[in-house]
Amino acid sequence: METLLAMTLGCLVAAGVYLMLAGDLLRFLFGLTLISNAVNLAIFTSGRITVGGTPPLVPDGAYEPAGDVANALPQALILTAIVIGFGLFAFALVLTLKAYGLLGTIDIDKMRLSEAKPDEDKA
Amino acid sequence: MNSLILTTATRLIVAILLLFSMFMLLRGHNEPGGGFIGGLIGATGFVMYAIACGTSEARAALRVRPQQIAAAGLGVAALAGLSSGLLGDPIFTGEWLMIGASGDSKGLALSTVLLFDIGVYLVVMGGILTLVFALEEEI
Amino acid sequence: MSWYLAMPLMTPVLTAVAAYLLRGSGIGRWVAVAGSALGLVFALMLMNQVIAAGVVTGQMSDWPAPFGITLIADLFSGIMVLLTAGVGLAVAVYACGEIDDDLEEMGFFAIFQLLLAGVTGAFLTGDLFNLYVWFEVLLISSFGLLILGGTRQQIDGAVKYVVLNLVSTIIFLCGLGLLYGATGTLNMADLRLAVDNSDQQGLVTVLSMFFLVAFAMKAAVFPLFFWLPASYHTPTSAVSAIFAGLLSKVGVYALFRTFTLIFDNDPAYTQPILYVAAALTMVTGILGALAQTDMRRVMSYQIVSSIGFLILGLAIGTPLALAGAIFYLVHNIIVKVNLFLVAGVATRLCGSSEMSRMGGVYKTAPLVALLFLVPAFTLAGFPPLTGFWAKVLLVQAALEAGNWGMVALVLIVSLLTIWSLMIVWARVFWAAHPEGLEPRTADLAPVRLHLLLPIAALGLASILIGLFPNGLIVLVQAAAAQLLDPQAYVDAVLGGAP
């Protein structure tokens, strides 16, 4: 199962990098999201899915799991990372929208306003 | 959006969502739930209202600005965390007050943890609503 | 103990809440200033405690390390927290003069305080995952500050800043996940033990590169610095100043912390990389500064160059070099904030930060010109100002390490720094305005005190530290010794029982 997840996240990163290199801000952000999901998956996998076939579940009525189970802490870390990632992605999307409205383009190569040479139009 | 079905259903659904968000908030400590998910559900109620009746209506129904809810929540959470320090424990330790505890029954358990969760509820609700209202008005 | 650690952190959070709820009532901004002043008092108390006790730790919620959330301050953290509070107060006062009611209504002062909270948290945390969380707090606040106002130039700069910082965040997170998979802990003190005892040293070195890239990106180290000069000159000058002083330095702090505490297992691999990065950062930074025509962009590139000096200290890695780097950090934070604040005043006087549309400031506002000269001389490294002592320590460390090339490079880059400052002085302050316009001193008059007081205070701090450097030199040497022998740090967190 871990091998399958490792391959999945490899595919996600590959697709993400492809999108990030497309030269378009929106695609860049989608690529970034794919990679951030891949990273979350990597953290999830680093805690192992199961150890000896046991997921990290506490039986009903007990206070601790019986025997060895997979580490559940990475799932808590991912939860934090997903929430933060969601907030950042939402911000970045709004920023993209705003940039399109104000600059009229989201082609990364054409977004030179803050680095314009003095003789270029800055207004 | 002008949909009679949505507008009519929203009246009912918003009330249920807000009530459910309170339920999720209060059961949070030992069972699945808590301030975060409660805040999300509560925000969903107002988002539905905004979709059905427009953001200005939703803002009016909310009465205060969502940013203010978030700021107040941050304050509540921070003060709840600091309050345990006043009692001599490390900061952010949960302080419990069991009203009417007897034998096995824990009675009514009030705690700084709950206060912190209420802060989280407000921050999440305020934050999400700020975002959604801003996006709705932009588009 | 935990009060000392929690108050510098929680004061800005509570101040942010108060400043937001009171905004527009006329006292919101003054509440923010008062909160900053209170934060400075708490930071001083923490510093006092750290000097007395060596390392101050606190476990939040009483969960023992390595399971709970650890807050920890050694001398290095203490110095950084104190500086954060100090320049935070200065910029908050300046912002009272610069920020208009519209920006305050949008929550400028609240976001500014949250930024300070994020920076302080990053300095005080003893846990890598919490470091990630605090990075996000300061990142989200900095996004907010960067776009407040929303001019086209700001949005364009913000896109670059946001996007590259998101990439760095993801690399950091990826390293975190893999490191947890390899060692099973994220508490920094516990990680040190886990890395020491790991039988996969090669893997740990590979993982350390994730952190190197992620933090280097945040610190604007060559070749990952392009976002900095693309964005730092676009927002209001109070925001530029606090960004210039603190944000990239948080990345440097994280590099220092992780590469002395956790990833010091294979210096033969990491140090050459740091050397090359330091040298190229210094050189490209200053060459960039010489090529620019916008006053604030010149200074942005100077930040990049000064980051190179800091990384050089880490690369040499001797006690003297680290002491020099920490001294340089203290000097640079004060001076950079100061320079950007003066640049803000000069921009206000001339109506543009483009040097071809500036000039004549010396003639009409000699006091402003004088206030520019203090940080300029300090940055250039004239004795007896702080920049001089910092560079003396660094050059001495490089000489002791027998690294003549680096010594030459440091001196050449210092010379070029003077040149780039002279260009600014000559064009903005000395020469007459090219279009014959007079700087508008009338604009300055109503808020003169708010703008000039923090600049004067920071300049005075530079001069005083420069005249009496001994206390600080002893302090930074003790801080460097703590960094290089983290046993006290580890014991303080884990209670001496590994």
List C-alpha distances in Å: A45 to A49, A57, C129, C178, C207: 6, 17, 17, 9, 16
Phi and psi of B99, rounded to 5°? -90, 125
B92 close to A (CB below 8 A): no
| pLDDT for position B2 | 73
B67 close to C (CB below 8 A): yes
- A-chain CB neighbours of C354 within 8 Å are 118, 122
ipTM of the complex: 0.90
Q: Which tens digits make up the pLDDT trace of C36-57?
A: 999 999 999 999 988 888 888 8
Q: pLDDT class for B47, splitting at 50, 70, 90?
A: very high
- Facing residue for C156 by CB, picked from A29, A88, A113: A113
Q: Which tens digits make up the pLDDT trace of B113-124?
A: 888 899 999 999
Q: Which helix (H) or strand (E) holds C343?
A: helix C319-350
Q: What is the mean pLDDT of residues C317-322?
A: 89
Domains held by chain C: number: 1
Residues in chain A, pLDDT under 50? 121-123
Tell me the C-alpha distance between C57 and C73, whole Å.
Answer: 6
What does the block give as tokens for A24? 């378009």
Report the neighbours of A using a cutoff of 3 or more CB pairs below 8 angstroms: B, C
Q: What angle do CA C79, C81, C85 make, to 5 degrees?
A: 115
Determine whether the interchain pair C6/B68 forms a contact, defined as Cβ–Cβ distance below 8 Å: no
Tell me the C-alpha distance between C449 and C459, whole Å.
Answer: 15
Does B44 have pLDDT greater than 90? yes
Phi and psi of B109, rounded to 5°? -95, 110
Report the neighbours of B using a cutoff of 3 or more CB pairs below 8 angstroms: A, C
| pLDDT for position B1 | 63
B134 close to A (CB below 8 A): yes
| pLDDT for position C431 | 81
**C281 within a domain of the structure (yes/no):** yes
| pLDDT for position A123 | 41
Sign of CA dihedral B16, B19, B22, B24: negative
Q: Which tens digits make up the pLDDT trace of C393-447?
A: 999 999 988 888 889 999 999 999 999 999 888 888 888 877 777 767 666 777 7
- Percent of chain C, pLDDT > 90? 36
Residue of B nearest to C6 (CA): B91
How many Å is the maximal CA-CA distance in chain A? 74
A84 close to B (CB below 8 A): no
Q: Which helix (H) or strand (E) holds C439?
A: none
Q: What is the mean pLDDT of residues C473-498?
A: 82
Spell out the CATH class of A2-53+72-115: mainly alpha
Q: pLDDT class for C497, splitting at 50, 70, 90?
A: very low
List C-alpha distances in Å: C469 to C397, C460, C472, C473, C474: 17, 14, 5, 6, 9
- Facing residue for A94 by CB, picked from B36, B127, B135: B135
Does C1 have pLDDT greater than 70? no
- Under 8 Å between Cβ of C234 and C167: no
For residue C435, the enclosing domain spans: 2-492
- Facing residue for C110 by CB, picked from B71, B79, B91: B71
Q: Which tens digits make up the pLDDT trace of C140-189?
A: 999 989 988 878 888 888 888 998 999 999 999 999 988 988 888 888 88
Determine whether the interchain pair C62/B90 forms a contact, defined as Cβ–Cβ distance below 8 Å: yes
Residue of B nearest to A97 (CA): B138
| pLDDT for position A53 | 66
Q: What is the CA radius of gyration of chain B?
A: 18
Name which of C492, C133, C2 is nearest B81 in CA terms.
Answer: C2
- The whole model's pTM is what? 0.92
Q: How many CB atoms lie within 10 A of CB B97?
A: 12
- B-chain CB neighbours of A90 within 8 Å are 131
Tell me the C-alpha distance between B38 and A98, whole Å.
Answer: 31
| pLDDT for position B38 | 92
**C302 within a domain of the structure (yes/no):** yes
Q: How close is the nearest chain C Cα to the Cα of A66, in Å?
A: 20
| pLDDT for position A119 | 54
Does B95 have pLDDT greater than 80? no
Residue of B nearest to C64 (CA): B90
Determine whether the interchain pair A87/B36 forms a contact, defined as Cβ–Cβ distance below 8 Å: no
User: Counting beta carbons within 10 angstroms of the beta carbon of residue C352, is it exposed (0 to 12), middle (13 to 18) or buried (19 or more)?
Assistant: middle
Range scoring the smallest mean pLDDT among C96-100, C258-262, C277-281, C303-307: C96-100
Sign of CA dihedral C83, C86, C90, C91: positive
